[in-house]
């Protein structure tokens, strides 16, 4: 077998089941090996930003890495923004980046570039294979690196000759790294703080935002009165009826300050203290009260879920968690179609077990206020602020077989709309809701907030998408996705309700 086949067999043997890719000439031996090796699903994306975002969505849900297959430095470069988001999400991903043959590098052909340089800012692990004989072992190391708790990006650069020359054999899977165990001192310290009677907030991120961790946090809250919060942009949070409700930190600095007000102790579980998303003149970056004590129960690489369960034991937590409510879906609202009513429609129809890929930006909030009482679901946020995550993450999260609702602002959706084609090709069960306000609406708010003086028409034109208006029905159907436009609550409720009852990709443009 050649190096490419040894790598593919190693990846499969190490538990990697899906490869999202957009290959070129230097990856053709890897592509050709796909028919000789069972166990790897390959999903084509028409742009690498779509490819890496799909791997992020898949990894967040599957809790194991997908591979990506990217074409030299520029192919990797196109995927970097969504790898930035994935890095912030701590999603495990193994990038396979083809490169020129080792002996060809010296000729500085047009596609030659500093692939290492492109990879480094987003990758916790980068390696370029030096020989076909080592590719398999390198692949096993890449998977292990990606699985390092809480999840990392590993980038393996594969020079073309290391793919086509003869290899020995696949490499055995390396042991899966486990999250570090939290020390009993950290648990005792947090327990003492919680029992002190001071106002305490548990701020949680990572795997502890799933049912088990939340249940432990809810039991702690029932006994100690602690608040339970998560970041504005938590990678994945399990929400809905029957689950412990989590307060989500708001977006703007002054809202965060208000949210944190009175907090005397902040107990961090895989999270960092909240800071302002951007800096603004004369507004704080640091949003925790100055006299608040900060304790780390679990760092991001530690097992926050087990730590919360141990903490619950030490504080002799109640059996029943606090903040658990029954299913109470809102009715379909009356009135004009706007982010609030659209969100209520979505909350009404969302089926149990759905995934929300949320890049709704200024228009996405309508559903959140109902989050605790609607059908149990997973919420995936835009973790790194690089817009253009929502559609690809929805696409990857839908693999192999989940219902996904993607909420998206129109500005950000244009970044990686190519992922819609993959949804059609793979017949994925994704309903995309485009909030078409014809603007970078958040920037109109930000332009005022940054104190930029008295902006004129040229400035405002840079935030405006009216000229010409994007037609999302045409864009989506041009890529094979059934699409409709809704200009009223009734129309949206009919379209969205139908989408929730049926399978397959579709898109609804909500005209705001």
Q: Which of residues 328-387 bind a second copy (CB under 8 A)?
A: 383-386
Q: How far is the CB of 218 from a second copy (least distance, A)?
A: 27
The residue within the footprint of a second copy, chosen from 12, 54, 81, 266 (CB under 8 A), is 81
Q: Closest approach of Cβ 86 to a second copy, in Å?
A: 12
User: Which range binds a second copy by CB under 8 A, 176-184, 272-280, 317-325, 334-342?
Assistant: 272-280
Contacts of 33 (CB under 8 A, 6+ apart): 2, 4, 5, 8
> Does the CA dihedral 123-127-132-134 come out positive or negative?
negative
For a second copy, which residue of 131, 277, 293, 494 counts as binding (CB under 8 A)? 277
Closest separation in Å from C-beta 466 to a second copy: 10
CA 46, 52, 55, 56 dihedral sign is negative
Under rule CB under 8 A, residue 290 binds a second copy: no
Least distance in angstroms from the C-beta of 155 to a second copy:
13
Q: Residue 345: which of 412, 353, 336 has the closest Cα?
A: 336
Note whether 43 and 399 are within 8 A (CB): yes
> Would you say 21 or 213 has its CB closer to a second copy?
21
CB of 439 to a second copy, least distance (A): 11
The one segment of 125-133, 337-345, 371-379, 446-454 that binds a second copy by CB under 8 A? 446-454
Compare residues 254 and 324 and give the one whose CB is closer to a second copy: 254
Q: Is 326 in the site for a second copy (CB under 8 A)?
A: no
Q: Which of 34, 62, 132, 306 binds a second copy (CB under 8 A)?
A: 34
Q: Which residue number, 82 or 144, has a Cβ lying nearer to a second copy? A: 82
Question: Per CB under 8 A, does 503 bind a second copy?
Answer: no
Q: Which residues pair with 71 in a beta bridge?
A: 98
Candidates 9-17, 325-333, 396-404, 449-457 — which segment interacts with a second copy by CB under 8 A? 449-457
CA angle 219, 225, 230 (to 5 degrees): 75
d(CA 365, CA 94): 33
Q: Which residues contact 189 (CB under 8 A, 6 or more apart)?
A: 295
d(CA 123, CA 80): 10
Distance (Å, rounded) from C-alpha 137 to C-alpha 316? 47
Site for a second copy in 480-499 (CB under 8 A): 480
Query: What is the nearest approach in angstroms of a second copy to the Cβ of residue 346?
Result: 24
Ranges within 147-176 binding a second copy (CB under 8 A) = 160-161, 164
Give the x-and-dash track for 60-79 against a second copy (CB under 8 A): ------------xxxx-xx-
- C-alpha dist (Å) from residue 3 to 9, 33, 171, 320: 10, 10, 11, 55
Among 84, 248, 299, 377, binds a second copy (CB under 8 A): 84
Of 403, 414, 359, which Cα lies nearest the Cα of 381?
359
Where are the extended beta strands (E) located within 240-287?
Answer: 247-248, 265-269
Q: How far is the CB of 91 from a second copy (least distance, A)?
A: 14
**Residue among 49 and 151 whose Cβ is closer to a second copy:** 49
Positive or negative CA dihedral for 190, 194, 198, 203? positive
Helix runs in 265-338, H state only: 304-314
Residue 431 CA: distances (Å) to CA of 365, 413, 484? 17, 13, 11
If the CB atoms of residues 233 and 349 are measured against a second copy, the closer one turns out to be 233
Q: How many chain residues are in contact with a second copy, going by CB under 8 A?
A: 101
Candidates 3, 21, 150, 218; binder of a second copy (CB under 8 A) is 21
Q: Where in 394-423 is the site for a second copy (CB under 8 A)?
A: 411, 414-415, 418, 421
Burial 115-154 (b: 16+ CB within 10 A, else e): bbebbeebbbbbbbbeebbbbbbbbbbbbbbbbbbbbbbb
Applying CB under 8 A, among 238, 338, 471, 504 the residue interacting with a second copy is 471
- Would you say 29 or 64 has its CB closer to a second copy? 29
Q: How far is the CB of 221 from a second copy (least distance, A)?
A: 27
């Amino acid at each position: 077998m050649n190096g490419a086949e040894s790598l593919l067999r190693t990846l499969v043997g190490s538990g990697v089941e899906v490869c999202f890719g957009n290959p070129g000439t230097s990856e053709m031996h890897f592509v050709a090996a796909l028919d000789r090796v069972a166990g790897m699903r390959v999903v084509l994306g028409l742009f690498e930003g779509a490819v890496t975002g799909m791997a992020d969505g898949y990894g967040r849900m599957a809790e194991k890495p997908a591979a990506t297959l990217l074409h030299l430095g520029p192919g990797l470069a196109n995927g970097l923004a969504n790898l930035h988001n994935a890095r912030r999400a701590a999603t495990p991903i193994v990038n396979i980046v083809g490169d020129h043959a080792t002996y060809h590098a010296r000729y500085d052909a047009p596609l030659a570039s500093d692939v290492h340089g492109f990879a480094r800012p987003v990758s916790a692990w980068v390696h370029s294979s030096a020989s076909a004989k080592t590719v398999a072992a390198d692949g096993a190391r890449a998977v292990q690196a990606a699985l390092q708790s809480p999840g990392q990006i590993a980038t393996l650069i594969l020079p073309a000759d290391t793919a086509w020359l003869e290899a020995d054999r696949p490499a055995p899977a390396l042991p899966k790294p486990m999250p570090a165990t939290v020390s009993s001192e950290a648990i005792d310290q947090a327990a003492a703080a919680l029992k002190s009677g001071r106002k305490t907030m548990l701020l949680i991120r990572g795997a502890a935002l799933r049912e088990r961790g939340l249940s432990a946090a809810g039991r702690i809250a029932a006994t100690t009165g602690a608040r339970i919060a998560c970041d504005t942009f938590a990678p994945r949070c399990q929400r809905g009826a029957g689950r412990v409700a989590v307060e989500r930190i708001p977006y703007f600095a002054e809202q965060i300050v208000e949210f944190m007000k009175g907090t005397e102790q902040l107990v961090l579980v895989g999270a960092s203290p909240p800071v302002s998303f951007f800096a603004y003149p004369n507004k704080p970056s640091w949003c925790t009260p100055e006299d608040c004590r900060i304790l780390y129960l679990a760092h991001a690489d530690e097992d926050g879920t087990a730590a919360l369960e141990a903490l619950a034991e030490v504080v002799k937590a109640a059996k029943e968690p606090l903040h658990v409510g029954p299913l109470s879906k809102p009715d379909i609202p009356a009135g004009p179609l706007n982010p609030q009513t659209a969100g209520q429609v979505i909350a009404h129809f969302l089926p149990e077990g759905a995934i929300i890929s949320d890049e709704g930006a200024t228009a996405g909030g309508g559903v959140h206020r109902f989050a605790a009482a609607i059908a149990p679901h997973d919420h995936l946020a835009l973790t790194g602020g690089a817009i253009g995550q929502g559609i690809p993450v929805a696409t990857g999260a839908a693999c192999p077989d989940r219902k996904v609702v993607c909420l998206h602002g129109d500005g950000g959706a244009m970044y990686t709309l190519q992922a819609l084609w993959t949804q059609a090709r793979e017949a994925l069960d994704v309903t995309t809701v485009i909030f078409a306000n014809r603007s970078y609406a958040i920037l109109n708010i930000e332009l005022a907030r940054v104190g930029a003086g008295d902006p004129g028409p040229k400035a405002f034109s840079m935030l405006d998408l009216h000229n010409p208006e994007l037609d999302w029905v045409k864009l989506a159907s041009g890529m094979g996705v059934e699409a409709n436009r809704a200009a009223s609550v009734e129309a949206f409720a009919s379209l969205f309700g139908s989408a929730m009852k049926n399978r397959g990709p579709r898109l609804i443009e909500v005209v705001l």
